[in-house]
Amino acid sequence: MRKKSRHPNFDQTLDLLRAHSFDVTPFAAVAGGMLVSKHGAAAVLAPAADAPAACAVSPGALVNGEVARLLDRGYQKFIKTSQFEIPATAHQLHSIHAFSEELNQLTGGISLYNESLGTTGDVYRYDRLRGREAEPAAPVEPWQAPVEHCS
């Protein structure tokens, strides 16, 4: 007799999220993607081969039906959409963090230590480091080095 799988499939995962007060709607930009939102934060889930659901778009603030990315500039976090960029408020960061934790718990995702400490961003852009991306000089071979003779 075949054993029942403990891991739910994608549709069962969506039903579980609906049962925990998540809003689940189709998302046209991702094939088979579903927009999952709660308390002003959202993510896009899609079916995956090795897990019941995978994040096609990582959790972020829901702004005008778009999942905004969290941008870290070292001194402050920002909410970035395709149209604008605004400073993130403490309420938004708490909402994204609570949403991410609950989503990971319900979908069977991995809970990482650094993510449990607070909200982590997608992109890190520190203004003091801008322009330091200079390419390293190509190594010079001994036979190509200029020879200086003493006279």
Q: Tell the residue number behind the tokens 């049962």, with chain if given.
A: 19
What would the pLDDT profile of 21-55 be if each residue is shown by its tens digit? 999 999 888 888 899 999 899 999 888 777 777 78
Q: Is the dihedral of CA 48, 113, 122, 97 positive or negative?
A: positive
Rounded CA-CA distance 92/98 in Å is 10
Instruction: Give pLDDT < 50 ranges for the chain.
Output: none
Residue 77 contacts residue 124 (beta carbons within 8 Å): no
Give the pLDDT score at 12.
84
Give the pLDDT score at 42.
93
Amino acid at 2: R
Give the pLDDT score at 150.
57
Give the pLDDT score at 64.
86
Give the pLDDT score at 108.
79
Q: Which residue ranges make up each domain of the chain?
A: 10-126
* pTM confidence score: 0.70
Q: Write out the two tokens for 119.
A: 């909200």
Residue 67, H or E segment:
strand 66-67
Q: Count other Cβ atoms within 10 Å, centred on residue 27.
A: 21
Give the length of the chain: 151
Give the pLDDT score at 141.
73
Rounded CA-CA distance 31/14 in Å is 16
CA distances from 40 to 30, 57, 94, 95 (A): 20, 15, 10, 7
Give the pLDDT score at 148.
61
Give the pLDDT score at 10.
83
Give the pLDDT score at 36.
93
Q: How far is CA 35 from the centre of its chain?
A: 14
